[in-house]
Amino acid sequence: MLNLTEDEFVHPGNRACSGCGLSLVYRIGLKALGKNTILVVPPSCLTVLQGLHPIASTKLPCVNVTFASTGAAATGVRAAMKALNKETVNVAAWAGDGGTGDIGIQALSGACERGEDIIFICYDNEAYMNTGIQRSGTTPEGVLTTTTPIDGKLQEKKDVPAIIAAHGIPYVATASAAYPLDLYDKVIKATTISGPKYIHVHTPCPPGWSFDTRYTIKVGKLGVETGLFDLYEIEDGQFQLTGVSKKLVGKQRKPVTDYFATQGRFKSLDEEIINKVQDRVDAKWAKYESMAVSNPEFQTQE
């Protein structure tokens, strides 16, 4: 962690749950964004983590907005900064998976289409955790939530980064709470690029995923090591695996069952779904292998 700035933008102690992946992601992300930043946040676990004045945990100015308006509100903040000749200010929208890929996707899509100079960070804990663990579009297939059938969610996880990348914006990246330096570097890079930037962060949630609070990093690493969640960047349309995912090309990945076994939310999975998910992951990585063969720099480029 020697590369991280010593500046802190989150006060010690907040209202996040013990072992909260978001708490780590938020702290690291703000270090990368720096003090010259205005945040835009919809209803979410992050709103709870922030707290309310006079006991707010965040040291940066933050605009709390409605679920559906995050992309539009960030657009307005950017316009205000332009009018005030403060265009060097980072405008960073920070939302959960529901506020990004479901309720908030229309405003986010509009901001991307217009080319707004904002950074949009989604912390994906794969359900509406703040309101009681209801399923979202990014909840994986077979997961149990308070609003799924007893056999778990019937649909596959929505690929939000791919949806946003289809807008042709300058920078799309994925990251994981288990690899904070990778996240830090990607947020730093986003601050140097003009136009819309999107970062999707896999964020383990102990109460929502049903695992012991001490295993947040372990669970996050298994998500990457099994190939279920990939670390990558799409910069000016060019796809590139990064970090641990880059090193997995041509190597033996851990089986998806290693990841499923760590979490109670997968307890209803049957062999058919497990095999289907494993086949899906294998097919995805076969595509990566093909890309590596056709492009020798695919594995080695940072």
Residue 215 predicted with pLDDT over 50: yes
Residue 302 predicted with pLDDT over 50: no
pLDDT digits (tens, 9 = 90+) for 149-191: 999 999 999 999 999 999 999 999 999 999 999 999 999 999 9
The whole model's pTM is what? 0.96
Which token pair is 284? 């995805």
CATH of the domain at 285: 3.40.50.970
Query: What residues have CB less than 8 Å from 141, skipping those under 6 apart?
Result: 152, 153, 154, 155, 156, 157, 273, 276, 277
Distance of CA 292 to CAs 171, 185, 225, Å?
21, 23, 18
- Is the distance from CB of 136 to CB of 100 less than 8 angstroms? no
Amino acid identity of residue 36, one-letter, is N
**What is the number of domains present in the chain?**
1
Predicted local confidence at residue 301, as pLDDT: 47
Answer yes or no: is 3 within a domain: no
Answer yes or no: is 36 within a domain: yes
Q: What proportion of the chain, given as a percentage, has pLDDT over 70?
A: 96
Predicted local confidence at residue 57, as pLDDT: 92
Predicted local confidence at residue 292, as pLDDT: 76
Query: What residues have CB less than 8 Å from 161, skipping those under 6 apart?
Result: 172, 173, 174, 198, 200, 234
Mean pLDDT score across all residues of the chain: 95
Stated as kind and residue range, the H or E segment containing 225 is helix 216-225
Domain that holds residue 255: 21-294
Answer yes or no: is 11 within a domain: no
Answer yes or no: is 219 within a domain: yes
Predicted local confidence at residue 220, as pLDDT: 99
Answer yes or no: is 299 within a domain: no
Predicted local confidence at residue 53, as pLDDT: 76
- Is the distance from CB of 153 to CB of 126 less than 8 angstroms? no
